[in-house]
Structure 1
């Protein structure tokens, strides 16, 4: 009796998904509400972020916005913004920092919010997800070739926790990297006065709580200022009672 034989090696499936140019990708409209990156002409779906992933990104945005405002820099912090890295490749970093003028250029044109070749961001941040190779190797090469001055990788995975900062040393054309571990303080290369606790980055406090603390401090300072004004007014009134012009004292 004859028997059918199952091939030992399965036939390799052909990739039949459409190939897009960068111009086509800019106007591409997904029908499934999924965000896609473009990698060598192919659409790469982005997985829904975990709660921790989201909190880390929100913490970065909060800290960077406060830093930029404190130093009066014409720089913006954005999420869900694309960065073109090759002819038919465009990434969507978790956080993008660019000049205000570049962002105004992006606002002025139709289509997806993507920074093109001549619109290099100052800093991109990726929180490591399931595809570790993409964040550590593939995207690092792309951002380096696209001349992004600083690429920060946040890895919250147990037993691998670190913040890696890759940037161009002065006069060099290749990234050098520094790993910062829990308990240490990471230092940005592009913003050297920006120092953040690695432990806080990996397990950040809720931004809503930080804003409440910020408002509480402002209210306390306002109350202190009001108390000082009242004290000064009482002193001025007493001096007038004694026939002394407080403005002459």
Structure 2
């Protein structure tokens, strides 16, 4: 039985839900570095800006999702949470009121399931992303686990993707079929910071753009459309001038022919006055 299926069966009645009054759901401790913080935001923001959600249900209805960074995942009140750099959970909607303690973090018994995917970003050799954390997320029955190591602290590979099979994670290519999403390492600039970034990708390998990238793409598209319209206007104006010039040329030719005819008639009349038949033979 998959982790997702197992947790879909775990819908705990309200009266049986654990007492969380003593649970620490956030500690407000600033621990992230700038690149990690931007990486977390890039993963979250691009999904909300450009992803329509996982493949639709059989009825064609869109499926909601929740993406967040640095939020605790609680599988039990008896075990400490794991706090991934990023997680994605589908078919869930955050409850209201949003500032209620049980709604400020990810409690598995409130959402009825674990997230589908978590990402850990490696910034040193002390995080145990491929050891303790890997085992911890497997115990939580999270279907996909991704470790991104941009500085290669853990070895030559920057990107490690795993799928839960049974009780263990096995290495896979970073394409997640049930989500219709992939992850790739992309080299470029995000919010003024250049370098490699972990980006969501479509099946064809193109990245999901951020809101700023979509706006810039739309600006360029509108600018291109404006230039195309301007070029078309200039072409039409050139065609109008060409037609006008052709008309003027034809009009000038007609006028020249008329003037020549008038001169010929006047000459013929003058010749007749002189007793010469202009149509006669010499």
TM over 0.5: yes
> What SS class does the counterpart of residue 23 from structure 2 fall into?
helix
Alignment-derived partner of residue 66 in structure 2: 76
Q: How far apart are 1:130 and its partner, in Å?
A: 3.3
Alignment-derived partner of residue 198 in structure 2: none
The aligned runs of 1:1-249 (5 Å cut-off) are 23-26=21-24, 30=27, 33-34=28-29, 48-69=31-52, 73-86=63-76, 87-99=78-90, 101-104=92-95, 107=98, 109-110=100-101, 113-118=104-109, 119=111, 120-130=114-124, 132=126, 134-158=128-152, 160=155, 161-169=157-165, 172-178=166-172, 186-192=174-180, 194-198=181-185, 200=186, 205-207=189-191, 211-223=211-223
Aligned equivalents of 2:96, 2:167: Cα separation in 1: 27
Instruction: Say if 1:106 and 1:115, in contact at 8 Å, map to a contact too.
Output: no
Instruction: Say if 1:106 and 1:114, in contact at 8 Å, map to a contact too.
Output: no
Q: Normalized against structure 2, the TM-score is what?
A: 0.53
Aligned equivalents of 2:50, 2:211: Cα separation in 1: 14
Instruction: Say if 1:123 and 1:151, in contact at 8 Å, map to a contact too.
Output: yes
* Corresponding residue pairs, total: 188
Aligned equivalents of 1:205, 1:85: Cα separation in 2: 36
Unpaired stretches in structure 1, ≥5 consecutive residues: 1-20, 36-47, 181-185, 239-249
Q: For residues 157 and 221 of structure 1, do their structure 2 counterparts lie closer, same or farther at Cα, with a shift above 3 Å needed?
A: closer
The higher radius of gyration belongs to 2
Cα deviation code 1:187-224 (max 9, x no counterpart): 234423x23432x2xx6621468654432321233345
Q: Normalized against structure 1, the TM-score is what?
A: 0.59
Instruction: Say if 1:168 and 1:174, in contact at 8 Å, map to a contact too.
Output: yes
Unpaired stretches in structure 2, ≥5 consecutive residues: 1-18, 55-61, 194-209, 241-282
CA RMSD of aligned residues (A): 3.7
Instruction: Say if 1:82 and 1:90, in contact at 8 Å, map to a contact too.
Output: yes
Q: For residues 142 and 67 of structure 1, do their structure 2 counterparts lie closer, same or farther at Cα, with a shift above 3 Å needed?
A: farther
Aligned equivalents of 1:93, 1:212: Cα separation in 2: 25
Instruction: Say if 2:50 and 2:211, in contact at 8 Å, map to a contact too.
Output: no
> What SS class does the counterpart of residue 168 from structure 1 fall into?
strand
